[in-house]
Structure 1
Amino acid sequence: MLQKFKNYITQNNLLFGEEKILLAVSGGIDSTVMLHLFSSCKFKFGIAHCNFGLRGKESDGDEEALRKLAKKYKSEFHSVRFETEKHAKTLGISIQMAARELRYKWFEKIRTENGYHKIAVAHNRNDIIETFFINLSRGTGIRGLTGIDPVNGKIIRPLLFASRSDIELYCMKHKLAFREDSSNSCDKYQRNSIRHHVVPALKELNPAFEENFFKSLDNLKQTENIYESYIDTAKKNITSKSGNNFEIDLVKLQHDPHKRTVLFELISKYGFNNKILDDILAAIDSHSGRQFFSEGYTLTKDRSKLIISRNEKNDTQQFDINQGINTIEGIGTIKLTETKTKNFKAPNNRTVFVDSSLLKFPLTLRYWHKGDKFVPFGMTGVKKLSDFFNDQKIPRPQKSKIPLLVSGNKILWIVGYRADNRFRIGPKTSKVVKIEIFDK
Structure 2
Amino acid sequence: MHLPARALRTIRSHGMLSAGGRVLVAISGGADSVALLHILRVLQDRRELTIAGLGHLNHQLRGAEADADEAFCRGLAAAADLAIEVGREDVMAAALREGRSLEDAARVVRYRFLEEAAGRRQADVIAVGHSLDDQAETFLLRLTRGAGSRGLGGIRPRAGRVIRPLLEISRADLRLYLKGHGLEFRDDASNLDVRIPRNRIRKALIPSLEQYAPGIVPVLARQAQIAREDEEYLERIATEVAQSVVLKTERGTELQTAALLELPRAIASRVVRQALELAAPGRFIAFGHIDGVLGLARGDEGAALALPGLVATRVGHAVVCGKPTVGRNWNTLRVPLSIPGEAVLGGWTVEATRADRAGAIRLPPSRGPLAVVAARPLGEPLTVRTRRKGDRFRPLGMGGRGRKLQDFLTDRKVPRRERDSLPLVVDRDDRIVWVAGHSVAEDFRVTAPEEGVILLKVRRLGGLG
TM beyond 0.5: yes
| Cα shift at 1:26 | 0.7
Which residue of 1 is the match for residue 164 of structure 2? 157
Are the equivalent residues in 2 in contact too, given 1:84–1:98 (CA < 8 A)? yes
Of residues 24, 27, 30 in structure 2, which corresponds to 1:28?
30
Q: Deviations over 1:143-195 (max 9, x none)?
A: 22234222211111111121001100001001111110000011122211111
Which residue of 2 is the match for residue 308 of structure 1? 321
Moved more, 33-42 or 243-252: 243-252
Distance in 1 (CA, whole Å) between partners of 2:192 and 2:177 is: 22
Which residue of 2 is the match for residue 292 of structure 1? 306
Across the aligned residues of Structure 1 and Structure 2, the Cα RMSD in angstroms comes to 3.7
Distance in 1 (CA, whole Å) between partners of 2:223 and 2:137 is: 15
Are the equivalent residues in 1 in contact too, given 2:126–2:161 (CA < 8 A)? yes
Alignment of 1:167-246 (within 5 A): 167-224=174-231, 226-242=233-249, 245-246=252-253
Q: Structure 2 vs 1, CA of residues 307 and 396 (structure 1 numbering), >3 Å: closer, same or farther?
A: farther
Q: Deviations over 1:204-255 (max 9, x none)?
A: 1111423443554454455435533542344233211225943212233233
- The two structures have a TM-score, normalised by structure 2, of 0.65
Distance in 1 (CA, whole Å) between partners of 2:122 and 2:81 is: 17
Of residues 14, 22, 44 in structure 2, which corresponds to 1:12?
14
Structure 1: unaligned runs, 5 residues or longer: 312-329, 333-347, 350-365, 405-440
Q: Deviations over 1:40-74 (max 9, x none)?
A: 22332311111111111111111111111111111
Are the equivalent residues in 1 in contact too, given 2:273–2:285 (CA < 8 A)? no
Does residue 139 in structure 1 map to residue 170 in structure 2? no
Structure 2: unaligned runs, 5 residues or longer: 45-49, 332-346, 350-364, 370-407, 425-433, 438-455
Which residue of 2 is the match for residue 249 of structure 1? 256
Distance in 1 (CA, whole Å) between partners of 2:195 and 2:272 is: 30
Which residue of 2 is the match for residue 41 of structure 1? 43
Q: Structure 2 vs 1, CA of residues 107 and 307 (structure 1 numbering), >3 Å: closer, same or farther?
A: farther
Are the equivalent residues in 2 in contact too, given 1:139–1:274 (CA < 8 A)? no
| Cα shift at 1:97 | 0.3
Distance in 2 (CA, whole Å) between partners of 1:138 and 1:225 is: 21
Q: Structure 2 vs 1, CA of residues 264 and 331 (structure 1 numbering), >3 Å: closer, same or farther?
A: closer
Instruction: Identify which of structures 1 and 2 has the higher relative contact order when contacts are C-alpha pairs closer than 8 Å and 6+ apart.
Output: 2
Distance in 2 (CA, whole Å) between partners of 1:392 and 1:145 is: 35
Which residue of 2 is the match for residue 128 of structure 1? 135
Distance in 1 (CA, whole Å) between partners of 2:14 and 2:262 is: 41
Which residue of 2 is the match for residue 399 of structure 1? 460
Q: Structure 2 vs 1, CA of residues 97 and 218 (structure 1 numbering), >3 Å: closer, same or farther?
A: closer
| Cα shift at 1:78 | 1.3
Which residue of 2 is the match for residue 261 of structure 1? 269
Q: Structure 2 vs 1, CA of residues 380 and 129 (structure 1 numbering), >3 Å: closer, same or farther?
A: closer
Distance in 1 (CA, whole Å) between partners of 2:368 and 2:204 is: 46
Distance in 2 (CA, whole Å) between partners of 1:273 and 1:19 is: 37
Q: Tell which structure's C-alpha radius of gyration is larger.
A: 1
Are the equivalent residues in 1 in contact too, given 2:55–2:86 (CA < 8 A)? yes
Q: Helix, strand or coil: the match of 1:78? A: strand
| Cα shift at 1:402 | 7.4
Q: Helix, strand or coil: the match of 1:40? A: helix
Are the equivalent residues in 2 in contact too, given 1:18–1:44 (CA < 8 A)? no
Q: Structure 2 vs 1, CA of residues 26 and 307 (structure 1 numbering), >3 Å: closer, same or farther?
A: farther
Q: Helix, strand or coil: the match of 1:119? A: strand
Are the equivalent residues in 1 in contact too, given 2:251–2:320 (CA < 8 A)? no
What letter matches 2:143 in structure 1? L
Distance in 1 (CA, whole Å) between partners of 2:138 and 2:13 is: 23
Distance in 1 (CA, whole Å) between partners of 2:217 and 2:174 is: 16
Which residue of 1 is the match for residue 68 of structure 2? 61
Does residue 97 in structure 1 map to residue 104 in structure 2? yes
* Count of residues in Structure 1 that have an aligned counterpart in Structure 2: 348
Q: Runs ≥4 in structure 1, deviation > 6 angstroms?
A: 371-374, 380-383
Are the equivalent residues in 2 in contact too, given 1:264–1:274 (CA < 8 A)? no
Q: Helix, strand or coil: the match of 1:27? A: coil
